[in-house]
Amino acid sequence: MSLLDVENLVISSGDARLVDGIDFSVGAGERVGLIGESGSGKSLTALGVMQLLPRGISSTGSIRFEDRDLVRAPERARCRLRGNRVAMVFQEPMSALNPLMRVGKQIAESLTVHGRLSRSAAKEEAARLLARVEIRDPRAVLRAYPHELSGGQRQRVVLAMAIANHPVLLLADEPTTALDVTVQDRVLRLLDGLVREERMALLLISHDLAVVSGICERVVVMYCGRLVERAAVGDILAHPRHPYTAGLVATSASLGGVWSATARRLQVLPTIPGTAPGAAAASRLSGCPFRTRCGRASEKCLEEPGLEAAEAGHDVACWHPLPAPAGLLRVHGPSGPAGRDDDVLGPGLAGPGLAGPGLAGPGLAGPGLAGPGLAGPPAPVGSETDGRPVQLVASGDDGAAPILECRNLVKVYRAALARQGGEPSAGEIRALDGVDLVVREGDVLGIVGESGSGKSTLARILLALDRPTSGEVRFRAVRIDDRPERELKEMRREVQVVFQDPLGSLDPRMRVSDIVAEPLQALGVEGDCRQRVAELLEAVRLPRDSGRRYPHQLSGGQRQRVAIARALAPRPNVLVADEAVSALDVSVRAQILNLFAELIGRFALSVVFISHDMGVVRHLCNRVAVLYRGKVVEEGMTEDVLTRPVSSYTRGLLAATPRLGKQVGDDESATVGAVPL
């Protein structure tokens, strides 16, 4: 008898079954991860357990929690359980808190609502809870409004509210996704510690396999509203049985998951071909929802596979699961030369059926999965220990001509009487504080930084969309920062940009073909536009007929392809990508990165790639600059910076990055780079 038993849970909106009959359980004190990409129904599942589904969405099935069926229980009984026996932490800490109510009152409410404490006692307890979630100045934070706190502090406040009544089950829905890497690491440690000390059961919902693997004991994988696999974390990582899980593991492993010295830049990442159908479309799909993307699919897959035990404690819903490992996980020694990795396939990917177009390609499966990070104790980050030279596919070198450079760049924003922590602080924000950077021809320069580091400001100034307060920007040795717009025409054609949010940066009322053609017309590029648009759509691998569509009719990955096609339209030499893959699902992110890698080579692009994600930068960039509070704290060849970081900030950033199979709090070096909140 488990603490939480979910049986045949169906969550539907009208006719669409967004969650289609899933079963799982969470034992007392057990930590279970619920993995899935956007639209998989993982968040709805958590809200279903809380019975707090959005309006117009209903659930059937049974959710047994402490001998009570939450689906059928009267609302009053559910109110007594919520926040008391079962609590929840949400993804967006800003919107999860009432903006017009002081933090102290919001925490105290958790305590008074169940009649446990009087109002005055609740206030005292709220301060104690804030100290419990490691907030430094609890008294001040109690009096603050949510907007006066940082993202990490807000999430701690939400966590404090959740644990106020010592619940036996905590649901955490992407609790750290909206946070910076270093903050994420600390909040995860905190969560991990609290769950263990309070002996709470945890259901951790995330798209990030690395985050889940760091905290949880068991993993449940969802795809298109269905549960496709569930097993212990180690089993999922070492030998996933469902092709979807295998793809997810391979992708996660190769992208910053395992810091394998053998992972090479610009090699083709393993991907899952295609994209997941939308939730509504998936519910109309009969049979296995993954069959359209699956290399192992057969006639049989038109029938829906049931969840069956592949081995003890490892259930999978697939007609053609990947074979069980023959004996132990095959691991190649860390001393193996790079060349030999190519023919050692990670066990998870060994199935022939997976070798679809996206997954094929030598050398993609081995290093990621079989890297030292997974097998045995984590190897120190660094390739020198292996006694091998680092092979770097560097295209840019110091001899090449600088194409885009900036010198001593300073940008100061005048802040409107910002109030912080109750103290009015007038003044200036130095977004950039003396930044020098050079992008040479053929360079792929990564700019890594957390929110507030000034990386987006830098992008805007490099693009001459904003003017620096002082310092200069040169394009092909000509200053552009002080030029009027009419003199920037050539630079505008040669330097293009791809933004983070493809839905926000594409005009919703323009067709794809018009979006892609617009820069051609705006910059007066001659020739046949339609022919060029067709070429571009082909180059970014979009179907021919997508030109007639509108952005909202495309998936997130397809939209980003449109944004890339638009950027490539005027045949630029320089591409600035600002968090261009950050909003994408893991499997789609790998596809877009592969596309970037291919296009960089094909069109000889010089690239400034701005990201908060070390794994992405490592994969794509030959040089990297680490930005912290408007200053470049470290710059160099990617391999050097990532393996022998000089600055303590870089070390902290690297240590904080979640990796597959690394336990939260394993790596003590994370505390070295003491980054102020």
Partner 1 sequence: MLLIATLAVASLIVFLVLAVLPGKPAEVILGTQATPGAVRELTDKLGLDKPIWRQYVDWVGGLLSGRLGTSYISGQPIASELGSALEVTGPLVGLGLLVGIVIAVPLGTFSAVRSRRASGVVASVLNQIGIAVPSFVLGILLIIVAGVELHLLPTGGFTGWSDPASALRSLVLPGVALGVVEGAIVGRYVRTAVLDVLSSDYLRTARAKGLTQGRALVRHGLRNVAVPVLTVLGLELAGLVVGAVVVENVFTLPGMGTLLLQSVENRDLIVVEDIVLLVAAVVLVVNFGVDVLYHSLDPRIAREL
The contact set with partner 1 (CB under 8 A) reads 50, 52, 54-56, 75-76, 79-84, 87-88, 90, 92, 95-101, 109-110, 113-114, 145, 147-148, 158, 161-162, 416-419
Nearest CB to partner 1, comparing residues 97 and 168: 97
Taking every pair of Cα atoms in the chain, the longest distance, rounded to a whole number of angstroms, is 76
DSSP line for 452-487 = TSSHHHHHHHHTTSS--SEEEEEETTEE-TTS-GGG
Nearest CB to partner 1, comparing residues 1 and 416: 416
Instruction: Kindly compute the dihedral angle of the four CA atoms of residues 557, 353, 298, 326, in this order, to the nearest 10 degrees.
Output: -130
Nearest CB to partner 1, comparing residues 75 and 668: 75
The 8 Å CB, 24+ separation contacts for 638-642 are 638/265, 638/392, 638/446, 639/383, 639/390, 639/392, 642/259, 642/381, 642/614, 642/618
Decide if 506 contacts 522 (C-beta within 8 A).
no
**Shortest gap between Cβ of 416 and partner 1 (angstroms)?**
5
Which residue, 626, 505, 622, is CA-closest to 567?
505
**Shortest gap between Cβ of 74 and partner 1 (angstroms)?**
12
- From CA 596, how far away is CA 602, in angstroms rounded? 10
Decide if 434 contacts 625 (C-beta within 8 A).
no
Q: Percent helix, strand, coil in the chain (nearest 5)?
A: 35, 20, 40
Nearest CB to partner 1, comparing residues 54 and 527: 54
Nearest CB to partner 1, comparing residues 98 and 521: 98
Beta partners for 82? Answer: 86
**Shortest gap between Cβ of 414 and partner 1 (angstroms)?**
12
Decide if 466 contacts 454 (C-beta within 8 A).
no
**Shortest gap between Cβ of 78 and partner 1 (angstroms)?**
9
Nearest CB to partner 1, comparing residues 419 and 571: 419
**Shortest gap between Cβ of 179 and partner 1 (angstroms)?**
16
Nearest CB to partner 1, comparing residues 145 and 550: 145
Look at the chain and count its residues. Answer: 677
How many C-beta atoms lie closer than 10 Å to residue 651's C-beta? 18
Nearest CB to partner 1, comparing residues 87 and 569: 87
Decide if 119 contacts 129 (C-beta within 8 A).
no
- From CA 97, how far away is CA 534, in angstroms rounded? 47
**Shortest gap between Cβ of 177 and partner 1 (angstroms)?**
14
Residue given tokens 């079963």 in the structure block: 23
Nearest CB to partner 1, comparing residues 49 and 322: 49
**Shortest gap between Cβ of 469 and partner 1 (angstroms)?**
22
How would you write 228-259 as a 3-class SS string?
Answer: EEEEEHHHHHHCCCCHHHHHHHHHHHHHHHCC
**Shortest gap between Cβ of 102 and partner 1 (angstroms)?**
9
> Exposed (0-12), middle (13-18) or buried (19+): which is 561, by Cβ within 10 Å?
buried
Which residue, 346, 299, 339, is CA-closest to 322?
346
DSSP line for 145-190 = -GGGS-HHHHHHHHHHHHHTT--SEEEEESTTTTS-HHHHHHHHHH
Residue given tokens 């109309």 in the structure block: 284
Nearest CB to partner 1, comparing residues 147 and 541: 147
Nearest CB to partner 1, comparing residues 88 and 231: 88
Nearest CB to partner 1, comparing residues 11 and 660: 11
**Shortest gap between Cβ of 189 and partner 1 (angstroms)?**
23
Beta partners for 239? Answer: none
Nearest CB to partner 1, comparing residues 195 and 409: 195
Nearest CB to partner 1, comparing residues 135 and 437: 135
**Shortest gap between Cβ of 120 and partner 1 (angstroms)?**
18
**φ/ψ (deg, to 5) at 299:** -55, -40
Nearest CB to partner 1, comparing residues 170 and 624: 170
**Shortest gap between Cβ of 424 and partner 1 (angstroms)?**
9
**Shortest gap between Cβ of 14 and partner 1 (angstroms)?**
12
Nearest CB to partner 1, comparing residues 101 and 324: 101
**Shortest gap between Cβ of 45 and partner 1 (angstroms)?**
15
Q: Strand locations in 79-158, DSSP E?
A: 86-89
Nearest CB to partner 1, comparing residues 110 and 457: 110
Decide if 652 contacts 672 (C-beta within 8 A).
yes
Which residue, 636, 638, 640, is CA-closest to 622?
638
**Shortest gap between Cβ of 52 and partner 1 (angstroms)?**
6
**Shortest gap between Cβ of 377 and partner 1 (angstroms)?**
40
DSSP state, 274? Answer: S
**Shortest gap between Cβ of 157 and partner 1 (angstroms)?**
10
Which residue, 622, 268, 603, is CA-closest to 446?
622
- From CA 508, how far away is CA 521, in angstroms rounded? 19
Decide if 92 contacts 178 (C-beta within 8 A).
yes
**Shortest gap between Cβ of 91 and partner 1 (angstroms)?**
9
- From CA 257, how far away is CA 247, in angstroms rounded? 14
Q: Which residues contact 110 (CB under 8 A, 6 or more apart)?
A: 83, 161, 162, 164, 165
